[in-house]
Chains A and B, each alone.
Chain A
Amino acid sequence: MSLLSVENLSFSIDGTKLLKNITFSLEKGSLTLVAGKNGSGKSMLLKCLKGLEKPDEGIIKVNGKVLKREKERMKAFGLVFQDTSLEIVGSTVRKDIAFGLENLRMERDIIQEKTNRMVSLFALEKIQDLPPSVLSGGEKRRLSIAGVLAMEPEIILMDEPLANLDYPSVKMVLSTLVQLKEKGVTVIIVSHEAEKLLSLTDNTIILSEGRLVDMGRSKDMMGALRDNEVYLPPKAVFEDLTWLK
């Protein structure tokens, strides 16, 4: 059984349809890339899944259960935003990881335990008491992911996780994605930068003008990505499409 099943998801603003009958399903533990040109509806898809926007129609199921209410989608999905400066709120790394857990009104000792686990998992020990303002781009991104993962969502959504990062920071984030995959975490990534992470992903979904135009195993989607004006280096081999090497 699929972990996530989306059926006929549609969303419009002021009569303009931004998502049109999106249907797909994903297995547990998969890493999926959502690609497409600007304005194709990628970020809006993440917002609808997360519950930040209410779709006009469609069914979202996680583990076979239909998520009708916004609260259910908020709990099932974790969303890592593109702009970390607007997402990180804690005065220290530890406090930021604990922020979401405090919102869930967990007991203090459970918050402490989960925060310690995230600090250890993402190797944040040396910087855990530092203010987020002094962190590098890659460290901030890892902190954002840690803060979301601490809340134990079923699926993690990431909006342009590699945007505005230098090469070392990109490698740091890609290593984190590999780590998440090894832990069996289901991740959906929206990114323009297919050439940096395609070979790490299991599946690729291509959106165009709000429609899902193609979907398949990532290794079979190179031609479709190029046809939909998503950049891939010419003559590139699938295994080379990662900056982690």
Chain B
Amino acid sequence: MRAPEFFRGMRQVAVQELLVNLKSLRLIIMALVSALVIVGGAYGFSGLGSGGGFPGGLPPVVVWPHAAYNATGSHVAVVWVSDPFGGPQAGRTVDLEALGPNGTVPLAKIATDGNGFVRHDVGGTDVIAATVTVGSFQTGTTISFPPQPQNFTYDIIQGDLDRDGSDDEMAIHVVNVSGDVVPAQIAVNGTSVGSTDAHGYLQFDLPRGDSIVNVTVAGETQTFPATVRGGSGGPTFASGPDTVLIIIAALSGFIVSLFGVVLSFDAVSKERVQGTMDLLLSRPASRSGILLGKFLGAFAAVALPVTLVNLAGIGVIAAVSGKSPTGSFAAAFLGLSLLLIATYVLLQLSLSTIAKTSGTAILFGVLAWLLFNLLYPIITFVIGAALFANDPAGYFHFSLVSGLGSPTQVYFLLIGLAAPQSLAGSGGTAVDPILPEAAAVAWIVLLLLLALWTFHKRGPE
């Protein structure tokens, strides 16, 4: 079936535009630049880019000690070694020493098994020191054997595991009296937060203030208190995968918009310059179909590499931080990047239609990018500062509203809105979300109509 008249020719032009763009040098260059900025930025801001250190307070390994007993009542030192997020660390050397009144006595150096465990019979020794060294990092713990064995033992760590500035994460590791993994149900203030995994590990969030944590194994429950103190627990704009993603999204706003400009600035004008416009317009295709095809082709050519680079950036953040950014935020970042691409490609289609030569088209493209990414923010900043010199709240609202006049600023506002609430201080969550959302839709609709109109009027001329 033929496409309705309005869309006639859209598919053919879109496929052609996409194929030509995918083979173009400028796409390869821009994809590399985007990858460098977004993936490189993700790596650098996530911490490891600084040269192999472990910034931000998270240790590379955590040692979980347990006092276990064998059938004859002999003491068994059980040590589980994992990363802070419960990933077992196989092959780590655990240095076991006996602690007594006469000082320390080396007992054994044993590598963890495939599940990260070391189990070593220490006879009647009551206190054992267990130490693990990773490069220059060393962590240790002690294991005390009480006179009355417990049916199961647990060990906990509490801290800022998601690196959002708040020590509101807890991880627990549970084994039974024999030192084997058993399923344990964990509840915080009476509400279940999950069960330990196949390695005996569970990470969960704690509410602010005091809490009671229950650990239940085979119907037997042990209880301990936990506290999350203070406000947010630290500076909000500090670290964590979501924060890194905000920084990446801000950089991406400039790069992605430039990518859209570079790839589509001559989408229409090159047909005229090449002399292929008349042959194209004489085909059984409507002008709207041709323009929409140009849009879809250029959009897809930018969106494909940008989405791949964005996904790689998110992957690098997750790999380096050890924790993925919030799923909804990551999805919003991917979607908003596409929205930004669409906006700039549509803008360029109008400018490209008006431009008579490739030189003019490049000039228009660069000027439009500079206008929305540099000049407009500076001008509105100056005006805002002059109008609201002694009124910070007024200036804040002015900047939120004036930001709607630039597609890139709208993107930044929407990124701020999509960021998790814990990062509220860094974004624009104080603004009514309907404004930037409506502005984003309005930009797309207006630019689409403008592109259709200019191409209809000026396409062949």
Does chain A bind chain B?
no
